[in-house]
Amino acid sequence: MKKLFSLLINIYKKYGNLFQGKCFYAFILFYKHQREWGTGRALKYVLKEFPHIHVIKGRDKVSAIGKMLEKVRIRPGQSDSLFVYPVDECVTLKLKGKILGNCCVDYSKIIGNSLEDLKMNEGEVFSLSNDSLIGYIESFTERIIASVGSSELKNKDLIIRNLQDTKTKKADTLEGALQRILLINAIQWQTGHILVGLGRLDLVLDRFSDDKRTDEELKGILKDFLRNLHEYYCLKSNALMGDTGQIIILGGNTEDGGYFTNRFTGLFLDAVKELDLPDPKVLIRISSKTPDQLWEKITDLIMAENGSPLISNDDVVIPCMLEFGYSKEEAYGYTTSACWEPMPGEGCEQNNIVSINCLEAFDIISGSIKEKEPDSFEAFMDLYFDGLEKHVKEILDYIDGIEWEEDPVISLFNSSARSRHMDAACGGGRSNNYGLLTVAMGNAVNSIMNIKKLVYEDHIFSLQELDRIRRSNFKGRADVRELLSGMPKMYGTDDPAVVSMVNMITGRIRKMVSEYRNRFNGRVKIGLSSPHYIMNSTDYPASFDGRGKGDPFAVHISNDHASDHIGLISFAAGLDYGNAGFNGNVVDMLVSPALINDTMQREKFIYMLRQGFKQGMFQLQLNCISADELRKAKANPEDFPDLIVRVWGFNAYFVQLPEEYQDYLIERAERYERAS
């Protein structure tokens, strides 16, 4: 069953547009819900909903959206909520190309303007399309108002007033602003977007900082808002449960040399902590200017152990973005894709398209090694880079062939697209670069270190012999696999030789892509973290670090084989993220709960993180969990329904993860504890 799902999902990803239809979408809904409910309940649900499933197409994209919005069933949510969140997961759009994903719209546009204000009234194709879309959104809003009006919602008068105002006035209350975000957010999900981000919500809501109500009252409103966003968790979860892309970005350096934070920064941190839901999640932009008071709230959220926050270091990220060529406005206004790739302010760049597999080169050059043994380590490295270049070229060819789906919804909120009268998916954005990720860098570096030691220094094996054993997945040579696995794991340590090896590899990759320009004249950015460490490793051949065929790749920037946190941070701080190397570089740290369960130790640990950022660490995510607890949760999931962990770059309920992800997290925690 699992293999069938995997096959069908892969077919859908590649060729989904060829046979999208009611039955196929019903299967997608079934697949998504069975992850939470199991097959029986999911099947029953889909059969019940089948008559309401619609996959809409139209003569053009905007008219299809209009038709689709007419079909959406409006179902008021919680009776005491201040908001309505109109998503109908049975209705979707037929897509022709690849939809923009992993980005967020600038919600300040719908808060500081009415829908009427966003009309262009200019009479040419783009503005006609824009105005037509707004017309459909207005009609949709009318339908929601009517539905709320006939409901029993306790706050229906407030909701109706806020929706009415959306059409003709800018938002003048916090609830009004949040309702507009929910409306536009719902339309993004409804129009087939994936991994829909939430943007810099503290900044977006800044104009309401003077609200006279108490912090507790405002926090209650934010919690209500977040609970609404948590709805449709299954539908929103992409490859894995929890992989929704719903990231709230908070804080951040400002162009004038200051640091932005307001009342809502802390309130969102507190609200996410108290709700204890895996989603939406928080990314906090910190820097040397982050106030101590805000660090205290960040610390509290870390201690809540619900996976948030991911911490991003503006002192490193912004200079890299400026060096790359983004304007100050774009760099200082950055948000991120799901999960962490910096996105220029108001941008919709596709940062998370595909991963470069750093092990692929070994397989590409395997034939050459068989023909002729490289006579020195330098000769071997030259060969490795030849293989890597071939792999990178294949990836560039692939991304060149991607056809993007026209996107009037994203364009509506994109200043550049509006001023240039060009769809955001067709190069209308201010910047239109692509982002690539790398996977298995840790495996590749440890492999290279093993080859250097065992082949070229100690002469225990020839490379041909070692490669033959590796390709056979160590068949009959468990001892060699044990040897390779047992060699010191250098990736993630601050050994200068390792840091320079990684910088050499990433430098070569960046050089390989430096001349590339996409059809919008955009360039390519590279990052060292990828969510594909299990997905891409399935059936992938064994590697020289002792990893067996099909075993997961190393996770992001990590080293589970050592408990030396400072060594790992110093390693990450020593890496070169310049020259287009800033497309997400996350240290994935495992921390023993025993290490930070004492107040004084916790303070020291947080101080270590702060100093690590000062030293140059790019980004960080943490899992504070014991292997024992994870093992118990796997064995008795009914006892641990709320156990939240951090995987890839998002938070998830541990018990809802596929078994291979559970096992890998347990294995990593065990390795870390052995090393501690």
Residues found near other proteins in the complex (CB under 8 A): 453-454, 458, 460, 479-480, 482-483, 486-488, 494, 564-567, 570, 595, 600-601, 604-605, 607-608, 611, 614-615
8 vs 595 by CB, closer to other proteins = 595
Find the shortest distance in angstroms from Cβ 537 to other proteins.
Answer: 24
482 vs 628 by CB, closer to other proteins = 482
Place of tokens 């008021």: 76
The CB density around residue 655, as the number of other CB atoms within 10 Å, is 18
Find the shortest distance in angstroms from Cβ 303 to other proteins.
Answer: 16
Instruction: Specify burial of residue 120 (Cβ count, 10 A radius: 0-12, 13-18, 19+).
Output: middle
Residue ranges with strand state E in 77-163: 91-93
C-alpha span between 643 and 634 (Å, rounded): 11
19 vs 607 by CB, closer to other proteins = 607
Instruction: Specify burial of residue 550 (Cβ count, 10 A radius: 0-12, 13-18, 19+).
Output: middle
Pairing of the two strands 281-286 and 247-250: parallel
C-alpha span between 348 and 410 (Å, rounded): 8
164 vs 615 by CB, closer to other proteins = 615
513 vs 572 by CB, closer to other proteins = 572
C-alpha span between 588 and 568 (Å, rounded): 10
Buried b (16+ CB within 10 A) or exposed e, 188-204: bbbbbbbbbbbbbbbbb
Instruction: Specify burial of residue 151 (Cβ count, 10 A radius: 0-12, 13-18, 19+).
Output: middle
236 vs 565 by CB, closer to other proteins = 565
C-alpha span between 110 and 169 (Å, rounded): 10
180 vs 547 by CB, closer to other proteins = 547
- DSSP-derived secondary structure for 593-648: GGGGSSHHHHHHHHHHHHHHHHHT--EEEEEE--HHHHHHHHH-GGG-TT-EEEET
Q: Are 167 and 134 in contact (CB under 8 A)?
A: no
Find the shortest distance in angstroms from Cβ 573 to other proteins.
Answer: 9
187 vs 449 by CB, closer to other proteins = 449
Find the shortest distance in angstroms from Cβ 476 to other proteins.
Answer: 11
Find the shortest distance in angstroms from Cβ 542 to other proteins.
Answer: 17
Beta bridge partners of 586: 619
Find the shortest distance in angstroms from Cβ 494 to other proteins.
Answer: 7
Find the shortest distance in angstroms from Cβ 674 to other proteins.
Answer: 9
216 vs 458 by CB, closer to other proteins = 458
Q: Are 55 and 20 in contact (CB under 8 A)?
A: yes
Find the shortest distance in angstroms from Cβ 479 to other proteins.
Answer: 5
Find the shortest distance in angstroms from Cβ 482 to other proteins.
Answer: 5
Specify the DSSP element, H or E, that contains 651: strand 650-653
228 vs 290 by CB, closer to other proteins = 290
- Amino acid sitting at position 396: L
Contacts of 256 (CB under 8 A, 6+ apart): none
Cα 446 to chain centroid distance, Å, stands at 26
C-alpha span between 609 and 605 (Å, rounded): 6
Two tokens, residue 409 = 């919804």
465 vs 564 by CB, closer to other proteins = 564
Closest C-alpha among 538, 13, 55 to residue 238: 13
Closest C-alpha among 239, 247, 463, 261 to residue 362: 463
Instruction: Please tell me the total number of residues recorded for the chain in this structure.
Output: 676
Residue ranges with strand state E in 327-411: 335-336, 342-343, 350-357
210 vs 458 by CB, closer to other proteins = 458
Find the shortest distance in angstroms from Cβ 504 to other proteins.
Answer: 21
C-alpha span between 422 and 416 (Å, rounded): 8
603 vs 642 by CB, closer to other proteins = 603
Find the shortest distance in angstroms from Cβ 287 to other proteins.
Answer: 16
Find the shortest distance in angstroms from Cβ 309 to other proteins.
Answer: 22
Which parts of 241-291 fold into alpha helices (H)? 263-275
C-alpha span between 362 and 543 (Å, rounded): 8
Find the shortest distance in angstroms from Cβ 673 to other proteins.
Answer: 14
483 vs 504 by CB, closer to other proteins = 483
DSSP state of 99: P
Find the shortest distance in angstroms from Cβ 491 to other proteins.
Answer: 16
Please give the backbone phi and psi of residue 591, each rounded to the nearest 5 degrees, phi first.
-130, 135
The CB density around residue 659, as the number of other CB atoms within 10 Å, is 9
C-alpha span between 491 and 556 (Å, rounded): 11
Find the shortest distance in angstroms from Cβ 498 to other proteins.
Answer: 14
5 vs 456 by CB, closer to other proteins = 456
- Amino acid sitting at position 335: T
C-alpha span between 63 and 581 (Å, rounded): 40
184 vs 499 by CB, closer to other proteins = 499
Find the shortest distance in angstroms from Cβ 295 to other proteins.
Answer: 13
